[in-house]
């Protein structure tokens, strides 16, 4: 693994082949998201989007306890109303940037994913959780509400009953319950979380990038339209695949009974 260590940075970036691992790095604060961390994450995701050698991103938190334990409560405590609104916008812009990244992002949920931490996980395309993870939207306990898209993404992921339960009661759920609610895709033993997540990431990195992008676009754009527009959008994306070398390679490899070698064009 080539590793560019930035000890003072709130975000670490390392490449494992074509998988970029982005780590929120404030373990002494359970990786709470302050403004500087939101900005560093935005830069890291911009760089990942623009780097053709990166085929998949894994997002996680440093240390043994937390993915991200929320927006930084100490920082929020001092904010005036307009600053609070700007903090929400800053977070929402980052979450939308991640959600609309043209390559898959996998959240490796290695412990607490609370408040802004669950919001961060939910804007990723897949969520793999360790069996020690605790997930929730506890903002009401602070006299707050989710501000980085939590009410909207949780509603879309898990429906109205689960969203109202998590956001109104403010109590976290364990990984297994989060799996039952559809909030996480898989739960694995905490000790195997990294290995299992990297297996999934490696599969995505090996897959056809333009096809993955097509799926992401269809879900992100088409999924927010009515059925007619969504289906038309899917058809347009499907047609576009026929212009790619990877589509020729994938179908030819199937016919020749060999493994495809996707090039990303
Ligand atoms: N913002 C700022 N700092 C946070 C934080 C957050 N969201 N979550 C944890 N921290 C800090 C703690 O203040 C503490 O810092 P300190 O050592 O300087 O006092 C450090 O991280 C460790 O947290 P601590 O509370 O001592 O760990 P714990 O194991 O006892 O409890 C949690 C873990 C996650 C239950 C608890 O930290 C918590 O409830 N955090 C807030 C969760 C939350 O409400 N998030 C939504 C924010 S909108």
CA 66 to ligand 1 center in whole angstroms = 10
Residues 97 and 34 reside in one and the same domain: yes
Q: Work out whether the CA dihedral 229, 152, 127, 180 comes out positive or negative.
A: negative
Of the candidates 9, 108, 112, the one whose C-alpha atom is nearest the C-alpha of residue 56 is: 108
157 lies in the same domain as 72? yes
Based on the domain organization, do 66 and 193 belong to the same domain?
A: yes
> Which domain does 234 fall in, by range?
208-255
Q: Are 59 and 77 in a shared domain?
A: yes
135 lines ligand 1 (CB under 6 A): no
Number of compact structural domains in the chain? 2
pLDDT score at 184: 98
| Same domain flag for 32 and 81 | yes
Q: In the predicted model, is pLDDT for residue 3 greater than 60?
A: no
User: What is the residue with the minimal CA distance to atom 40 of ligand 1?
Assistant: 69
Residue whose tokens read 């623009």: 50
Residues 68 and 143 in one domain: yes
Report residue 223's pLDDT band, with 50, 70 and 90 as the boundaries. Answer: confident
Active-site hit among 119, 180, 192, 224: 119
User: For residue 7, what pLDDT band results from cuts at 50, 70 and 90?
Assistant: low
Residue 158's pLDDT band (cuts 50, 70, 90):
very high
Asked if residue 6 belongs to a domain, the reply is no
- Residue 45 is assigned to a structural domain of this protein: yes
Residues 192, 125 share a domain: yes
Q: Which residues pair with 16 in a beta bridge?
A: 19
Same domain as 245, residue 187: no
114 lines ligand 1 (CB under 6 A): yes
pLDDT at residue 152, as a whole number: 97
Contacts of 259 (CB under 8 A, 6+ apart): 253
Tell me: pLDDT of 225 over 50. yes
Q: Does 44 map to a domain?
A: yes
187 shares its domain with 218: no
Nearest CA to ligand 1 atom 22: 29
Q: 164-179 pLDDT, tens per residue?
A: 999 999 999 999 999 9
Structural domain contains residue 2: no
Is 261 a domain residue?
Answer: no
Position 263 in a domain: no
Give the model's pLDDT for residue 6. 46
Catalytic hit among 52, 139, 229, 249: 139
- 232 and 156 within one domain: no
Indicate whether 41 and 169 sit together in one domain: yes
Candidate of 10, 27, 73 to mutate for ligand 1, largest count of ligand atoms within 8 Å of Cβ: 73
Name the least confident of 84-93, 110-119, 137-146, 216-225: 216-225
CA of 27 to the centre of ligand 1 (A): 10
Rounded distance between C-alpha atoms, residue 55 and residue 136, angstroms: 30
Read off the CATH number of the domain in which 151 is found: 3.90.226.10
When computed from its CA atoms, the radius of gyration of the chain, rounded to whole angstroms, is 19
Tell me: do 195 and 233 sit in the same domain: no
Tokens of 220: 């992100």
148 CB within 6 A, ligand 1: no
Q: Considering the chain, what percentage of its residues have pLDDT values greater than 90?
A: 95
Please provide the average confidence, as pLDDT, over all residues in the chain.
96
Judge whether 262 lies within some domain: no
Whether 180 sits among the annotated catalytic residues: the reply is no
Where does the pLDDT of residue 197 fall: very low under 50, low under 70, confident under 90, or very high at 90 and above? very high
Task: Assess whether 119 carries a catalytic annotation.
Answer: yes
* 161: in domain: yes
């Amino acid at each position: 693994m080539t590793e560019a260590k930035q000890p003072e940075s709130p975000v670490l970036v390392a490449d494992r082949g074509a998988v970029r691992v982005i780590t929120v790095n404030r373990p002494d604060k359970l990786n709470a998201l302050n403004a500087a961390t939101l900005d560093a994450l935005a830069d890291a995701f911009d760089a990942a989007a623009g780097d053709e050698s990166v085929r998949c991103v894994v997002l996680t938190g440093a240390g043994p306890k937390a993915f991200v334990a929320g927006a930084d409560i100490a920082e929020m405590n001092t904010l005036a109303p307009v600053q609070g609104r700007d903090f929400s916008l800053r977070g929402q812009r980052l979450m939308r940037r991640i959600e609309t990244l043209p390559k898959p992002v996998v959240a490796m949920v290695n412990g607490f994913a609370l408040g802004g931490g669950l919001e961060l996980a939910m804007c990723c395309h897949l969520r793999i959780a360790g069996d020690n993870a605790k997930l929730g939207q506890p903002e009401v306990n602070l006299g707050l509400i989710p501000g980085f898209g939590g009410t909207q993404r949780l509603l879309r992921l898990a429906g109205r009953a689960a969203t109202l339960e998590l956001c109104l009661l403010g109590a976290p759920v364990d990984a297994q319950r989060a799996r039952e609610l559809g909030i996480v895709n898989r739960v694995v033993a905490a000790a195997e979380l990294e290995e299992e997540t990297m297996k999934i990431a490696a599969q995505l990195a090996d897959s056809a990038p333009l096809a993955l992008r097509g799926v992401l676009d269809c879900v992100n754009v088409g999924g927010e339209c009515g059925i007619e527009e969504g289906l038309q959008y899917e058809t347009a994306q499907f047609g576009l695949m026929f212009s790619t070398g990877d589509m020729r390679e994938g179908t030819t490899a199937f016919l020749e009974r060999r493994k495809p070698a996707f090039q990303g064009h």
